[in-house]
Amino acid sequence: MRLVIQRVSEAGVTVDGRVVGEIGPGFLVLVGFGADDPADLPRRKVWSQMLDKLVNLRVFPDEAGKLNRSLLDTGGQVLAVSQFTLYADCRKGRRPSFHLAADAALGLQLYTDFVSGLAALLPGRVEQGEFGAEMDVRLVNAGPVTIVLDSGDFKG
């Protein structure tokens, strides 16, 4: 699992001109799953480690301007957008290969579980894109702050 986390003052997703998800201050999270990610990933320790890290990342400024506050502290929202291209393999040629990404069925299952798990930690504060759709994503990256989390970097 890979997450690209962008601190935003606002973000939104449209599909065919229709808004499917929109947030104010918080995180836009691009979410990708690899071909090696198991179907039971949500029951593994690394899953909870990644979700815990996401909601507790201290990248929002406190009163002194120091990055010392998390989503839990600020009441921020999350817009989760599926993004299989996070597993693009660009080592050969000029056209990326996506053989390292999870297939659509597994990707959908894990993405759905990810959004549900996040919503359990942040009730009423999680929006999402539309899996498999051609989406237009707009964001105002605050800072800018962009962080990448990869499940391969965690033990569990």
* 128 classed as catalytic: no
Check if 84 is active-site: yes
Query: 27, 60, 84, 114: which is the annotated catalytic residue?
Result: 84
Q: Which residue out of 85, 112, 114, 154 is catalytically annotated? A: 85
Q: What domains does the chain contain, in order, with CATH numbers?
A: 2-153 (3.50.80.10)
Mean pLDDT by 10 residues, the chain (156 residues): 98 98 98 97 97 98 96 97 96 95 98 98 97 97 96 85
Which of 6, 27, 33, 83 is catalytic? The answer is 83
Residue 155 confidence (pLDDT): 78
3-state SS, one letter per residue, for the chain? CEEEEEEEEEEEEEECCEEEEEECCEEEEEEECECCCCCCHHHCHHHHHHHHHHHHCCCEECCCCCEEECHHHHCCEEEEEECHHHHCECCCCCCCECCCECCHHHHHHHHHHHHHHHHHHCCCCEEECCCCCCCEEEEEEEEEEEEEEEHHHCCC
What is the model's pLDDT at position 156?
63
Question: Does the annotation mark 83 as catalytic?
Answer: yes
